[in-house]
Amino acid sequence: MMAPTGDPSKRNSRARSALRATIEYLERGADRVFGPNLNPFAHLGALGFFLFWIVAVSGIYLFIFFDTGVVDAYDSVEAITHAQWFAGGVMRSFHRYASDLMVVVLVVHVAREFALDRYRGARWFSWITGVPIIWMLYASGITGYWLVWDKLAQYVAIVSSELLDWLPIFGEPIARNFLAPGSLSDRFFTLLVFMHIAIPLILLFIMWVHILRISRPKVNPPRALAIIVLLGLVVVSLWKPALSQGPADLSKVPNGVGLDWFYLPLYPLVDLWSRGAVWALLGGFTLMLIILPWLPPFRRARPAVVDLAYCNGCARCVEDCPYEAVRLVPRTDGRPFDQQVQVNASLCVSCGVCVGACPSSTPFRRTTDLKTGIDLPDLPLQTLRERTEEAAAGLSGQERVLIFACAHGAGSGRRQGTVEVPCVAMVPPSLIDYAISRNLADGVVVAGCAERACYNRLGVAWSEQRFARQRNPYLRARVPRERLATIWASPTEKGRFAHELAAFASAVASLPPSQRSPEAPPEDAAVEATAADDTPEELVP
């Protein structure tokens, strides 16, 4: 069986294991409430974009009625909150709580990607571009609190300026602007408004860059989940409206202010630590996030390679690659096709999804060396067929169930009759047909990651669509569906996996014996040669 890709030390990380167990416990609870398709944990990135637009739209509404100025700012916010509470007051609370929820989504998203080990190797780009998103989000929220110009805003302004004064940026200390009446001008609030508009625009740009290397990124959550989030925000806004904490008074030091612990958790530390220590904490945390993808060094599997003799440029691997690591380029070998496939090694995570998508990845072809248009050097298709035959040879009795298991799911591990792969979408449907039609097994289980947390993003979706004959390459209609089962379970759900596997094995044992034996003569050669899909004749040896 193939060993899981990546650094083995990650499996021994107690911190990551504990974090993953905690997150998956919460995910399973959310599964029971929302179902796998609407599980919020499966749509954190999309929820982040959705909440951004909620904050942006509500912010535009508030800006229409907001007046800049030392005196006018607070009064205009109060008018918005109370004079038109039915719209402006709710919209202000909507703006506040959507911003807080965006922080929650970001923190959980970062923790989840770390726990699932989806931040190293070719995934480093998305992780690194996520670091400035954190800074921009907090900068946007903090400047928003300044604009209210209540006691909390005064406290935030004083502490923020003291922190900034520690850095050698400004020629004169800016903190003193908030210590005496008359030291502020209306232009200061004009500058704050500009910053509060410019920073979110920069944030949106970085969010776009963040998903550049991802194929089919989710930027919109399912409609039902979006409605649930909207209704939840409305309920919270009505139940506990966001209110000001009294007007700012530069003649007094603000005391006893209520903090927004989502955006201002470090501000109390300024009273306990030195400003340099706070900056050291922020800088150290940022540096840790930046270098984390290379700690410990990541042992990458070799990227996919293309064999032009078996590639007709059909673009199926291009369409199915989760990371846009495969693309089409003009043909170079003179064969009668317009295009060929090219792999970007820096983007390839060696998941093998492209192998499962290739029409020439059929094990029925009778050649000395089984070749395909695109293959993994560390687990070529021929080796996969050999391991399938070896695993099947060890099966006996009335419950001969062959398992194709994702290395990142509950089915991984050295179990009899198991063939481990980097992703179940690497297994071409023709290999399942091969195992059943050749009587290598009485039933086949495809065991992948949990639906909500597919390690390679699209492995579960593509496999389900191929088996349902909704996506090429199709599972042939001649394959008895009662002899095929899919189990989508995370590594912490081994109990559920074992239960579903036992139930399927029992069901297979009750089926009539297969009508074919391993020694039976092959069917018509043309049928065998293209048993999985529509492999072009010119590519079949």
pLDDT of residue 315 exceeding 80: yes
Question: Is 405 in the same domain as 447?
Answer: yes
The pLDDT value given to residue 11: 42
pLDDT of residue 188 exceeding 60: yes
Q: Domain span at residue 185? A: 35-294
**Neighbouring residues of 7: CB distance < 8 A, sequence distance ≥ 6:** 120, 296, 297, 298, 299
Q: Considering Cα of 435, then 437, then 439, then 442, what sign does the dihedral take?
A: positive
The pLDDT value given to residue 299: 80
Q: Is residue 2 part of a domain?
A: no
The pLDDT value given to residue 171: 66
178 falls in which pLDDT band (50, 70, 90)? low
The pLDDT value given to residue 492: 86
Q: What average pLDDT score do residues 74-97 get?
A: 91
* CA dist., res. 59 & res. 95, Å (int): 6
Q: Which of the listed residues 269, 294, 319 is the one where a domain comes to its end?
A: 294
pLDDT in tens, 219-256: 999 999 999 999 999 999 999 999 999 998 887 888 88
pLDDT of residue 531 exceeding 50: no
Q: Is residue 275 part of a domain?
A: yes
Comparing 16-25, 93-102, 425-434, the range with the smallest average pLDDT is 16-25
Contact 373, 415 (CB under 8 A): no
Torsion region of 173: left, alpha or beta (phi above 0 gives left; psi -120 to 50 gives alpha) = beta
pLDDT in tens, 476-494: 999 999 999 999 998 888 8
Q: Which of the listed residues 255, 275, 294 is the one where a domain comes to its end?
A: 294
pLDDT of residue 212 exceeding 60: yes
pLDDT in tens, 166-177: 888 876 777 666
514 falls in which pLDDT band (50, 70, 90)? low
Q: What average pLDDT score do residues 279-296 get?
A: 93
Give me the CATH number covering residue 259.
1.20.810.10
Torsion region of 236: left, alpha or beta (phi above 0 gives left; psi -120 to 50 gives alpha) = alpha
Question: Is 281 in the same domain as 322?
Answer: no
Q: Which of the listed residues 294, 314, 343 is the one where a domain comes to its end?
A: 294
Write the DSSP assignment of 335-396 as a string of letters: -S-SEEEEE-TTT-----HHHHH-TT--TT---SS---SEE-TTS-HHHHHHHHHHHHHT--
pLDDT of residue 416 exceeding 90: no
Question: Is 433 in the same domain as 312?
Answer: yes
Contact 365, 541 (CB under 8 A): yes
Question: Is 121 in the same domain as 146?
Answer: yes
Question: Is 258 in the same domain as 323?
Answer: no
Q: Is residue 21 part of a domain?
A: no
Per the structure, the count of domains in the chain is 2
* CA dist., res. 473 & res. 357, Å (int): 6
pLDDT of residue 257 exceeding 80: yes
How many CB atoms neighbour CB 121 within 10 A?
21
Question: Is 259 in the same domain as 318?
Answer: no
Residue with the bigger pLDDT between 536 and 317: it is 317
Question: Is 289 in the same domain as 309?
Answer: no
Question: Is 247 in the same domain as 315?
Answer: no
Question: Is 436 in the same domain as 288?
Answer: no
Write the DSSP assignment of 410-477 as a string of letters: TT-SS-TTEEEES-GGGS-HHHHHHHHHTTS-SEEEEEES-GGG-TTSSHHHHHHHHHTTSSSSPPPT
Q: Is residue 24 part of a domain?
A: no
537 falls in which pLDDT band (50, 70, 90)? very low
pTM: 0.86
The pLDDT value given to residue 334: 83
pLDDT of residue 6 exceeding 50: no
The pLDDT value given to residue 343: 95
CA 513 to chain centre: 43
pLDDT in tens, 148-160: 999 999 999 889 9
Q: Is residue 73 part of a domain?
A: yes
Q: What average pLDDT score do residues 123-127 get?
A: 93
The pLDDT value given to residue 179: 59
Q: Is residue 208 part of a domain?
A: yes
Comparing 142-146, 449-453, 531-535, the range with the smallest average pLDDT is 531-535
pLDDT in tens, 318-328: 999 999 999 99
Q: Is residue 28 part of a domain?
A: no
Question: Considering the chain, what is the average pLDDT of its residues?
Answer: 87
* CA dist., res. 474 & res. 337, Å (int): 23
Q: What average pLDDT score do residues 460-483 get?
A: 93
The pLDDT value given to residue 37: 86
* CA dist., res. 371 & res. 360, Å (int): 8
Q: Is residue 185 part of a domain?
A: yes
* CA dist., res. 10 & res. 120, Å (int): 11
Give the residue from 463, 447, 442 showing the smallest Cα distance to 507.
442
Question: Is 449 in the same domain as 491?
Answer: yes
Give the residue from 121, 108, 107 showing the smallest Cα distance to 296.
121
Q: What average pLDDT score do residues 376-391 get?
A: 94
Question: Is 213 in the same domain as 349?
Answer: no
Question: Is 385 in the same domain as 411?
Answer: yes
70 falls in which pLDDT band (50, 70, 90)? confident
How many CB atoms neighbour CB 325 within 10 A?
25
